[in-house]
A and B are shown apart, each in its own frame.
Chain A
Amino acid sequence: MSQLAHISASQLYWRCRRGMLELDLLLNTFVEAEYNSLTKEDTILFSTMLDYQDQFLLDLLLGKTQSPDATISNLAARIKNACHEKFKLQN
């Protein structure tokens, strides 16, 4: 598990740069929309999620696979929801 307890917005932002455009959009949108409201626990959980392999992370965020950890599943739902909200406004 990541030990990054006090991770800055720019550090998180950079680690949201992935090999897939879909992940770039999902993760960056979440950080932009919710970084200021993240608790320390949220931040640690999110940085743990950022350590996942790209393909697994994409499957998790698109709902093709589920995490047995409810906190991860909840965070995945928040990330997806942030994306929904942003793009709903743009349509």
Chain B
Amino acid sequence: MAAIQRRKFDTLIIGAGGGGLRAALKLSDADASVAVVSKVFPTRSHTVAAQGGMNAALGNVLPDNWHWHMFDTIKGSDYLGDQDAIEYMCRAAPKAVYELEHFGVPFSRLDNGNIYQRPFGGQSQNFGGDQAARTCAAADRTGHAILHSLYQQNIRAKTHFFDEYFSVDLLKDDEGHVLGALVFNIQDGKPIIIEAKTTLLATGGAGQLYKTTTNALINTGDGLGMALRAGIPLQDMEFFQFHPTGIAGRGMLITEGARGEGGYLVNGEGERMMERYAPKAKDLASRDVVSRAIATEIREGRGCGVNKDHVMLKLDHLGEEVIQMRLPGIRQTCMTFLGIDPAEAPIPVFPTAHYTMGGIPTNRNGQVVMPVKDTPEEAIEGLYAAGECACVSVHGANRLGGNSLLDILVFGRAAANHIIGYLAENRYHRSMDESCVEKAMQRFERWGKNSNKTGEPVSVLRDELKKVMEEHCGVFRNEEVLKEGVQKIEQLAERMKEASITDHSDIFNTARVEALELENLMACGLATMHSAYARTESRGAHSRIDYPERDDINWMRHTLYSFENGLDYKPVRTKPVSVDSFPPRPRVY
């Protein structure tokens, strides 16, 4: 094996979205040497797509309190969220907003100069009382503003960026310490070992698991795959948030606003289908009810189109003037991506995968934790995770709008704080374990010049994986559907071992990148399907038709899935840091 270039840093951060960049900034400002590895240019990370805003109990518009925010988040999580982490996040939220303001994020303002806050679903005053207004936003591009401000601050702080580098695998020695990662330069195909005293995974979610998703193509669960291959379990992967009305076959959202303006859903027989599922609320029923209704219509053969694989959202009865005035963005999106003017024709829609609630288990310091012997949460030395790839768990079984940007910023910062303490006590790099380098190189070279050239194409397997996940682990779940899904995904994982690519060049070999990404997605798919099959209850985003009730006696616990041990479980942390617990109650809005 030719000598591989090596670089040494105090901290390696994999992923350059909001979580990774927040941590990097804190560390660089504390004089740590920080490497950020990103497969795309940092400001093209998926944080840029977050439009809604960021929750913090500032009380600028209506009275508010971090404790009310905490209650809403726990209730929203369907009591699967860890209450210590949620308390920590809600207490830290105002400070996180003010810090961003100082970094240059142009938050929208009230006339009195204070930060504007908008109301959002799931927010309340007084523990379930009147609507609260808790979401701070920079117009409709909050994620964009945060990402660009953090990137500029990191340039000032001299964070070292490895742009367009792909991370292959974590490097972990026999004693369980994480020593960095093997990465390679997408531009020239050359591998580099980045040795680090501490490594933070901040690679985002895995929405590309599903055929219909709002997520960008980069969201392939890379950190989740790396964790599983390093022997670390993934937590609560069965909880995936779906939006009911994505554009069928494309994925992008048609917001609730379309139905709020009078739009309604029709099935293939021309019926207003929501009357059957929610006679009162009809098309304004909650997201999970509308999503399941669409999936049920399609499964029972009442879908639209040649393949009967979607339903229609009708807006044309509203008239061109109303649509242009109140829903111009939706009209533009439909005309661009469907060639359809919703003022003239209905929009084909299908539930679209939006957010990965599960992920790499961490504590509220961002340390990755896993069960060791009788201890359910033993920290792995040198390894941290933050953001959508992590499961702290503040979202539990269902994430509230406005809490995802908050999560990445609070826990990116918390991880950095803990790392600073760790670096003070661990001043030298541990010796590199060459056997783990060799193992990571084998995975890298699996797709190189000497690899199998006659196997199935990666693109075929990717399409099949997305289809299997959508049909067997989407919004419609029962014993039969999931059991078949487990069989199919196990078969796909076997076929993946023999898959091949035809491009073996070194310069911008995107085929190799996509093969490595598919391995990560396949790992996420296995975790998600197995976890969903085993959980025989309905909680938050995991809805079982055959087990429609929440079962706190048997299932108020976190799922853990690993390659080595299959499924395992650990208790929910129901004890907050300083206040009384919120015991489970029916989640009714």
Chain A contact residues, CB within 8 Å of chain B:
8, 10-11, 13-15, 17-26, 28, 53-55, 61-64, 80, 83-84, 87-88, 90-91
Task: Tell me which residues across on chain A come within 8 A of B507, comparing CB atoms.
Answer: 8, 10-11
Task: Tell me which residues across on chain B come within 8 A of A63, comparing CB atoms.
Answer: 332
B586 interface residue per 8 A CB criterion: no
Quick check: A91 and B340 within 8 Å, CB to CB? Answer: yes
- 25 chain-A/chain-B pairs, Cβ below 8 angstroms: A8-B508, A10-B507, A11-B187, A14-B40, A14-B513, A18-B40, A18-B44, A19-B44, A19-B45, A19-B218, A20-B49, A21-B49, A21-B213, A21-B214, A22-B337, A23-B216, A54-B49, A55-B144, A62-B333, A62-B336, A84-B336, A87-B338, A87-B339, A91-B338, A91-B339
**Chain B positions 156-214 with a Cβ under 8 Å from a chain A Cβ:** 164, 186-187, 213-214
Given contacts A84-B336, A90-B249, contact A53 B40 (CB under 8 A): no
Main secondary structure of the interface of B (DSSP, over half): loop
B22 interface residue per 8 A CB criterion: no
Quick check: B339 and A21 within 8 Å, CB to CB? Answer: no
B81 interface residue per 8 A CB criterion: no
Q: Which of B186, B216, B338, B508 interacts with A21 by CB under 8 Å?
A: B216
Main secondary structure of the interface of A (DSSP, over half): helix
Quick check: B332 and A62 within 8 Å, CB to CB? Answer: yes
Q: Which of B214, B217, B332, B337 interacts with A87 by CB under 8 Å?
A: B337
Task: Tell me which residues across on chain B come within 8 A of A22, comparing CB atoms.
Answer: 252, 333, 336-337
Task: Tell me which residues across on chain B come within 8 A of A10, comparing CB atoms.
Answer: 503, 507-510
CB distance from A86 to the nearest CB of B (A): 9
Q: Which of B46, B213, B333, B503 interacts with A19 by CB under 8 Å?
A: B46
Chain B: how many interface residues by the 8 Å CB criterion? Answer: 40
Quick check: A55 and B40 within 8 Å, CB to CB? Answer: no
Cα distance A54–B46 when bound, in Å? 10
Cα distance A90–B309 when bound, in Å? 14
CB distance from A12 to the nearest CB of B (A): 9
CB distance from B4 to the nearest CB of A (A): 23
Q: Which of A17, A21, A26, A87 interacts with B215 by CB under 8 Å?
A: A21
CB distance from A54 to the nearest CB of B (A): 5
B48 interface residue per 8 A CB criterion: yes
Task: Tell me which residues across on chain A come within 8 A of B339, comparing CB atoms.
Answer: 84, 87-88, 91
B488 interface residue per 8 A CB criterion: no
Closest to B186 in A: A14
Closest to B204 in A: A19
CB distance from A32 to the nearest CB of B (A): 12
Cα distance A84–B250 when bound, in Å? 13
Q: Which of B215, B251, B332 interacts with A64 by CB under 8 Å?
A: B332
Quick check: A53 and B336 within 8 Å, CB to CB? Answer: no
Quick check: B48 and A54 within 8 Å, CB to CB? Answer: yes
Quick check: A24 and B217 within 8 Å, CB to CB? Answer: yes
Task: Tell me which residues across on chain A come within 8 A of B332, comparing CB atoms.
Answer: 62-64
Cα distance A14–B510 when bound, in Å? 7
CB contacts between A and B, total, < 8 Å: 95
Cα distance A46–B508 when bound, in Å? 18
Cα distance A58–B44 when bound, in Å? 12
Cα distance A91–B43 when bound, in Å? 33
Given contacts A62-B332, A84-B339, A87-B337, contact A17 B48 (CB under 8 A): no
Cα distance A54–B141 when bound, in Å? 11
**Chain B positions 488-542 with a Cβ under 8 Å from a chain A Cβ:** 503, 507-510, 513
Task: Tell me which residues across on chain A come within 8 A of B250, comparing CB atoms.
Answer: 25, 87
Quick check: B44 and A25 within 8 Å, CB to CB? Answer: no
Closest to B507 in A: A8
Quick check: A54 and B508 within 8 Å, CB to CB? Answer: no
CB distance from A7 to the nearest CB of B (A): 9
Closest to A59 in B: B141
Quick check: B340 and A53 within 8 Å, CB to CB? Answer: no
Cα distance A25–B442 when bound, in Å? 33
Q: Which of B47, B164, B252, B503 interacts with A14 by CB under 8 Å?
A: B164
- Most central of B217, B251, B503, B509 by chain A CB within 10 Å: B217
Quick check: B216 and A24 within 8 Å, CB to CB? Answer: yes
B364 interface residue per 8 A CB criterion: no
If A18-B40, A90-B249 are given as contacts, then 11 extra A-B residue pairs at C-beta distance below 8 Å, sorted by A number, are A10-B508, A11-B187, A13-B508, A14-B513, A17-B40, A21-B214, A24-B217, A53-B43, A54-B49, A61-B336, A87-B337
Quick check: A53 and B144 within 8 Å, CB to CB? Answer: yes
Cα distance A53–B340 when bound, in Å? 28
Cα distance A17–B214 when bound, in Å? 14
Cα distance A24–B44 when bound, in Å? 11
Cα distance A45–B394 when bound, in Å? 44
Task: Tell me which residues across on chain A come within 8 A of B218, comparing CB atoms.
Answer: 17-19
Digitize B36-57: 1 where CB-to-A-CB distance is under 8 Å, 0 elsewhere.
Answer: 0001110111111100000000
Cα distance A88–B249 when bound, in Å? 13
B413 interface residue per 8 A CB criterion: no
Cα distance A31–B522 when bound, in Å? 27
Cα distance A80–B338 when bound, in Å? 12
B134 interface residue per 8 A CB criterion: no
Task: Tell me which residues across on chain B come within 8 A of A15, comparing CB atoms.
Answer: 41
Quick check: A19 and B337 within 8 Å, CB to CB? Answer: no
**Shortest 3 CB-CB distances between A and B: which pairs?**
A19-B48, A10-B508, A88-B339
